[in-house]
Amino acid sequence: MMRAVKCLGTGGVEVMKISQIPIPTPGPNEVLIKVHATALNRADLLQRRGLYPPPPGYTDILGLECSGEISGGHEKWPLGTRVMGFLRGGGYAEYVTVHKDQVLPIPSKLSYTQAAGLCEVFLTAYKCLFYLGKGKEQEKVLVHAGASGVGLALIQLAKWKNLQVFTTCGSSDKEKACKDLGADFVWNYKSGSFLPAIKNFGGADLIMDSVGASYVSDNISCLNKNSRWIIYGFLSGSKVKDIDFAKIFAKLSTLHFTSFRARSDEFRNDVISKFIADGVLEEFENGRMKSIIYKELGIEDVQSGHLIMEKNENIGKIVLRII
């Protein structure tokens, strides 16, 4: 048996309780990871509330990523290897199983805490910006929620490939975090619409959008020709009133609606192998790329972790240490 955070029903943070459950058994293409740390994602909050059920066949334990050491399973990964697991669930536990190709080696300079918060945000950012978005040097990218976990990864990946980055965020601390990572222009949305500023910046060849409804109209207005608009979240809701498709048509834009969890192994493996082949992990070795950790908590503090994220206080990742 092992310790894991179970949701006893759906609702507020109080439904999450530490419980004893069986250690999972890896399938033929899987490894077993002894988890050292996991990290929070907004999807966890939705799942806790019953709004984002796990895909059929996967555990209902929360946790989309972890760091730890290989403790069994497939020969691809020797016992004891320090790894990051890119999960469809199960990270909030002492052990988790995961497809052998959805495991990445931890860059040697990173602690288990830093590694726990790397996978989900950097793979999501890489997928949105390059794998789907085909972002190219000198293109202008609008990153909404720049100080979120994915936002901070997007800024770093975009600057790494010499794109020009315009971000939005909602506090001066967050502005500073975005600028420190190299964002070319940061707009605090509490000062009003980002639209005049992004137009002045030269519009957007790419939009990385986790905000949804409230920005749709301004997003459409700033799209450049042949632009790609990647929609991966709905912080402000998803219901849009009065949208004129002709305005998007005039820009010849492509809209990608994308998540990771419900994707096939084939898709997930392909993004991971391109991410590795492109050399992103080396950039953590040389210090150019950073896994930004806001707070490290013990697994018993999982409820406070969720509350921090719910209040949008964090800049970067909230990590839960399992051991």
Residues that bind a second copy (CB under 8 A): 132, 212-213, 216, 225, 231, 234, 238-249, 251-259, 262-263
In the complex, the smallest distance separating the C-beta of residue 260 from a second copy, rounded to whole angstroms, is 10
Nearer to a second copy, 77 or 131 (CB): 131
Give the residue with the Cβ less far from a second copy, 169 or 211. 211
Residues across the chain: 323
Q: How far apart are the C-alpha atoms of 147 and 309, rounded to whole Å?
A: 12
Residue in the block written with tokens 């849009």: 240
DSSP 27: -
- CA–CA separation, 8 vs 252, rounded Å? 47
Give least dist CB 240 to a second copy, A: 5
Phi, psi for residue 32 in degrees, rounded to 5: -105, 130
Residue 241 CB, shortest distance to a second copy, in Å, is 6
- Indicate the residue among 82 and 256 with the shorter CB distance to a second copy: 256
Q: Which is nearer to a second copy, 160 or 234 (CB)?
A: 234
CB nearer to a second copy: pick between 66 and 206: 206
Query: Minimum distance from CB of 133 to a second copy (Å)?
Result: 11
CB of 22 to a second copy, least distance (A): 31
- Are 32 and 71 within 8 A, CB to CB? yes
Listed residue (301, 279, 299) closest to 289, CA to CA? 279
Residue found under tokens 């601390």: 173
The residue among 46, 33, 153, 135 whose CA lies nearest residue 82 is 33
Do β-strands 16-21 and 2-7 pair in parallel, antiparallel, or remain unpaired?
antiparallel
Smallest separation, CB 233 to a second copy (Å): 9
- Residue 279 region, left (φ>0) first, then alpha (ψ -120 to 50), else beta? left
Left (φ > 0), alpha (ψ -120 to 50) or beta: where does 74 sit? beta
Report whether 240 contacts 213 (CB < 8 A).
yes
* Residue 165 vs 230, nearer CB to a second copy: 230
- Least distance in Å: CB of 103 to a second copy? 23
Pick between residue 10 and residue 257 the one whose CB is nearest to a second copy: 257
